[in-house]
């Protein structure tokens, strides 16, 4: 056991290490810049390639004092017609990939955890496919 003033008097070359479940360890500090074995291991910092230049999006026009915003062009929809290449990746598509209005798909009302019957499932699938055909 050391008194507080003895701990303060340890100096910069000694240390106390506390680890859960072990007695405190009094040790000498190793300084890599003073020991020739550690100095031999020193490497220069790695060369970091500069980040590629990124083209920023144009800023939107400011609103004038009267509060009228300048008109902006309409955004093109993010949908397209189906192609033959899409059939090859059909298994990887999710519901978000379809532009169908899922709110218009009629699903039977069931209690929480209750499963649909085969007839109800077929009706729900047919409703979904019909909403795709209407687009």
Residue ranges of domains in the chain: 4-39, 84-134
Q: Give the pairing of strands 25-28 and 14-17.
A: antiparallel
Look at 5-9, 72-76, 114-118 and tell me which has the smallest mean pLDDT.
Answer: 72-76
DSSP 3-state of 44: coil
Please give the average per-residue pLDDT across 100-128, as a whole number: 82
How confident is the model over 17-31, as pLDDT tens digits?
Answer: 999 999 999 999 988
Query: In this structure, which long-range contacts are made by residues 11-19, counting pairs with CB atoms below 8 Å and at least 24 apart in sequence?
Result: none
Q: How far is CA 82 from the centre of its chain?
A: 30
């Amino acid at each position: 056991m050391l008194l507080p003033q003895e701990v303060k008097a340890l100096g910069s070359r000694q240390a106390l290490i506390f680890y859960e479940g072990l007695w405190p360890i009094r040790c000498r500090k190793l300084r890599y810049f003073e020991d020739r074995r550690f100095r031999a291991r020193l490497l220069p910092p790695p060369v970091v390639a500069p980040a590629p230049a990124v083209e920023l999006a144009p800023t939107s026009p400011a609103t004038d004092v009267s509060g009228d915003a300048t008109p902006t062009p309409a955004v093109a929809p993010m949908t397209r017609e189906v192609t033959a290449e899409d059939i090859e990746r059909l298994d990887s598509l999710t519901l978000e990939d379809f532009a169908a209005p899922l709110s218009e798909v009629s699903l039977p009302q069931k209690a929480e955890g209750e499963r649909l019957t085969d007839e109800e499932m077929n009706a729900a699938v047919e409703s979904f496919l019909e909403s795709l055909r209407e687009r």
